[in-house]
Amino acid sequence: MFERFADYMYYLLTAPFKRVRKEINQWYLLFKVLGKRLDEAKEALQRARDETMVATCSPLMLQEHGRDRGLSRYEGEELESYRKRIAIHSQVCSLGGTNEGIILAVKSLGYDNVAVIPAREYYG
């Protein structure tokens, strides 16, 4: 509905404060000055929020998320594959060496047809 904070705050004013033209209205001038600062703060907070999530962060911040989890990007690995690997890292770690964990770990590397075949089927 409102693009800027100043317009929204002016909208909230009661009618007696709006009788003066916007150009000379002291309330509007105050909201215009403060609104720019608050709009910038809002955008900075939204950027920070996006950078904290693995799904929406920039490539530079993605390296930091990977470093926090002890993961590095493989040579030739696509950015989205790396993002996916970071996102499911905790789940893979919790499943450990189970069949589910092995399948999930291999699928996170980009392989789709994954099956766990026990060694006893090969060696008898």
Q: To the nearest 10°, the Cα dihedral for 86, 87, 90, 94?
A: -110
> Same domain, yes or no, for 116 and 86?
yes
SS3 at position 104: helix
With 90 as the cut, is the pLDDT of residue 9 above it?
no
pTM above 0.75, yes or no: no
- Which pLDDT score, from 0 to 100, does residue 73 have? 92
Per cent of the chain over pLDDT 90 is 40
> Same domain, yes or no, for 47 and 64?
no
Q: How many domains does the chain have?
A: 2
> Same domain, yes or no, for 24 and 42?
yes
> Angle CA(81)–CA(77)–CA(57) in degrees, nearest 5?
50
> Same domain, yes or no, for 69 and 117?
yes
Q: Which domain holds residue 92?
A: 59-123
- Which pLDDT score, from 0 to 100, does residue 112 have? 87
Q: How confident is the model at residue 4 (pLDDT cuts 50, 70, 90)?
A: confident
- Which pLDDT score, from 0 to 100, does residue 24 have? 85
